Structure 1
Amino acid sequence: MNEESLPWRVVQTRSRSEKKTAAYIQAMGVKLYLPLQKRKKQWSDRTKVVEEPLFPGYLFAQFEEGQRYPVLNTPGVVRIVSFGGEYASIPDAQIDALQNFSYLDNEVLVVNNELLSGQEVLIASGPFKNLSGRLVRHNGKGKLLIEFVALGQGLLVELDRTKLILR
């Protein structure tokens, strides 16, 4: 099977072991993506910018059926996320949008006072273009919590209203 046609799977890892687990899986020749974000951490004696997983406890991998058991047996892997007996699959467009986002230092997303919780939304432009999810919370000040269904996790983002399409 061609690597381009392989679906992106969601791999759950042990807490705070995403980077090490990703290194083990990559060493097996599996294509993977671990979205990271830069955060400023404050200690009593210094401030440091560190890279942390955008989705703690999860990474994305493309692998053939024959590689499933080696991936599952990798140190740090808890499971391959599935719903109703089917492995969760992430569209290439969403992985591409996350990869584009990782190159930015600032968060980008939508301001819309007419949004209601539970609405399906699609990002029309910017680094999250073609990324879709469900609006969980909107505080009226430009901050949105969008749940990406395949992960079952939310991502707090800020957007310009013109970048959002309601589905």
Structure 2
Amino acid sequence: MAVETPSSRKNQSRETEKERWDRNFADLLQELRVAQTGVQILFAFLLTLPFSSGFPQATNFQKDTYIVALISAAFATAMIISPVAFHRALFRQGRKPELVRYAHKMASGGLAFMLISMVSSVLLITDYVLNWKWAIPLTVITAGWFLTYWALLPFAHREWGEEEEGDEYDEGSPATSS
């Protein structure tokens, strides 16, 4: 991941609007590659779980939790991969701004469903291995951990890297926000 410096911001301020949309889309695709790998591994694990020898002994609560984890992983997978299908549909139509805005929304939604799936998976496994007295607090801690790193810290530090006085690069403009 490239570190943004004041000089790189000045170079970005000289980008055309088309170049900015292209860069934003490329940046977003890189982020989606990371998320896609994680959700695919989780989804694959969840797809194989019912075929394991211990699954028939799972309680109704554990099976319900499994369904929440599985369906949310499927939704996350669909949303994280959807920008590729959208790109195919809009290919060479000059609609990159629309594609970037759509891909941003799908990536955000996909991460939300991945959060649900991961937390549900933790609840399922901790309830199966331990018991609900341990499963609930461990799951709450896990959810808090994810929310801290995926939501609280990023939103709390949106002002990091503020432009230096006189820097023309406007990170908040629609053409440069990812």
On whether the aligned pair clears a TM of 0.5, the verdict is: no
* Larger relative contact order (CA 8 Å, sep ≥ 6): 2
In the superposition, the TM-score normalised over structure 1's length comes to: 0.27
Higher strand share: 1
